[in-house]
Amino acid sequence: MNADPRGVLTGSHFLDGDHAACEGALAAGARFAAGYPITPSTEVVERYAMRAPKVGGTFIQMEDELAASIAIQGAVWGGAKAFTVTSGPGFSLMMEHIGYAAMTETPCVFVDVQRGGPSTGLPTLPAQADMMQVRWGSHGDYEIIALCPNSPQECFDLMITAFNMSEKYRVPTFLMMDEVVGHMTEKVVIPSADQIYVEPRNFTAKEPAAFKAYEACGEECVPEMVMAGEGYNIHVTGLTHDERGYPNMTPPVQDTLLKRLVGKIRDNADKICLYEEADTEGADIVVVSYGITSRVAQRAIDLAHEQGIKVGKFRLITAWPFPEKKIAEIAGKVKALVVPELNMGQMVREVERCAGGKAKVLAVPHAGGSVHRPEDILKAIVEVAR
């Protein structure tokens, strides 16, 4: 279905990434947001607080991140599309409810504008150090979808994608920004509402007596949904549950449930994964990057081209699920993969795993607080090119 025009600020704008992400949420139909202030993410909900009352949305500033991350899930079961926003330390506090959203298959969006850590770390300065936390931070086995914009335009575009994927697969979905992308200001073009596709919630057409809240449905094995107040008498629990949603803590039920929860993402990874590649055909070296680092990497690639080095670019837009097949394919054709990240080495582990020894993998870590110098990435490219 098309976006509700009341939430779409069609036109060309000069926006920072945080504000663009807010506009993306409004365009995607988010009419509920709960937040707790934390730098450098707060501008997303500050704008939402300004805009929401004029488009039929509700914003509430909760007492902490735990509250914000579960209030949005209550709102989802009340029928709304909902999101919350945070940064590293707040993200740590939200982890329990990321597990709850995964287990209860509550479609909702989390925005993490990453800053340096660990702990309070660097409140106003960038990092990409929550990439493993978003994947593994809550306990137990589950899958999520995480997207990494590298510009304010993508903060807008990918926010809509995040909402759409969240609805389609009924998983918590993440916009993994960083402080630089959040605070950089660039041109953002917002199309008209009829040019924006919004995935509708897959409400069931079954009668209450015939409806099982957690029965696998469709080719993606994602159950149909209902909302509270419609007479379905649903039971939603974070406990291991059967198709009816009833707690059942036996190994066979756990086995069936977990296989479906991880399977709906793993089995559809090829449909979910978004990436950008350039000059990878015939390349000796490929730089794998994401978020703000991909823009620094582009400068390093250009400098390497000037030196005659055959280097290509692979940008992760979807970090999770990780594009395993694509990385394995590239690794089979090149000498080396160079992986700059604003952390001490997180996604590079995935690259190494998928490369499986077929190509050399060289990390270019950075502790955060600023971005890489292009020369540091160039140096790594030159080193592996020898």
First to last CA, the chain: 52
**Closer residue to other proteins (CB): 120 or 237:** 237
Number of chain residues interacting with other proteins (CB under 8 A)? 57
Distance CA 140, CA 230 (A): 32
Of residues 234-253, which lie at the interface with other proteins (CB under 8 A)? 234-239, 246-247
Residue 76 phi/psi, 5-degree rounding, is -60, -45
Residue 114 and residue 88 in contact, taking contact as beta carbons nearer than 8 Å? yes
Non-local CB neighbours of 266 within 8 Å, separated by 6+ positions: 143, 321
**Closer residue to other proteins (CB): 96 or 383:** 96
The CB-of-96 to other proteins minimum distance in angstroms stands at 6
The CB-of-303 to other proteins minimum distance in angstroms stands at 48
**Closer residue to other proteins (CB): 64 or 194:** 64
Q: Which of 118, 209, 229, 251 binds other proteins (CB under 8 A)?
A: 229
Residue 226 and residue 211 in contact, taking contact as beta carbons nearer than 8 Å? yes
Distance CA 157, CA 150 (A): 11
Amino acid at residue number 338: V
Burial string for 115-139 (b: 16+ CB within 10 Å, else e) reads bbbeeebbeebbbbbbbbbbbebbe
Left (φ > 0), alpha (ψ -120 to 50) or beta: where does 301 sit?
Answer: alpha
Q: Which of 3, 8, 38, 76 binds other proteins (CB under 8 A)?
A: 76
**Residue 67 engages other proteins in binding (rule: CB under 8 A):** yes
**Residue 9 engages other proteins in binding (rule: CB under 8 A):** no
The CB-of-182 to other proteins minimum distance in angstroms stands at 25
**Closer residue to other proteins (CB): 78 or 356:** 78
Residue 318 and residue 347 in contact, taking contact as beta carbons nearer than 8 Å? no
**Residue 254 engages other proteins in binding (rule: CB under 8 A):** no
**Closer residue to other proteins (CB): 79 or 369:** 79
User: In the 8-state DSSP scheme, what is residue 287?
Assistant: E
**Stretch of 27-35, 155-163, 296-304, 335-343 lying at the interface with other proteins (CB under 8 A):** 27-35
Of residues 29-58, which lie at the interface with other proteins (CB under 8 A)? 31-32, 34, 53-58
**Closer residue to other proteins (CB): 121 or 263:** 263
CA distances from 328 to 9, 346, 357, 359 (A): 41, 17, 10, 9
Binding stretches for other proteins (CB under 8 A) = 6, 31-32, 34, 53-58, 60, 62-64, 66-68, 70-80, 82, 96-97, 100, 200-205, 217-218, 224, 226-239, 246-247
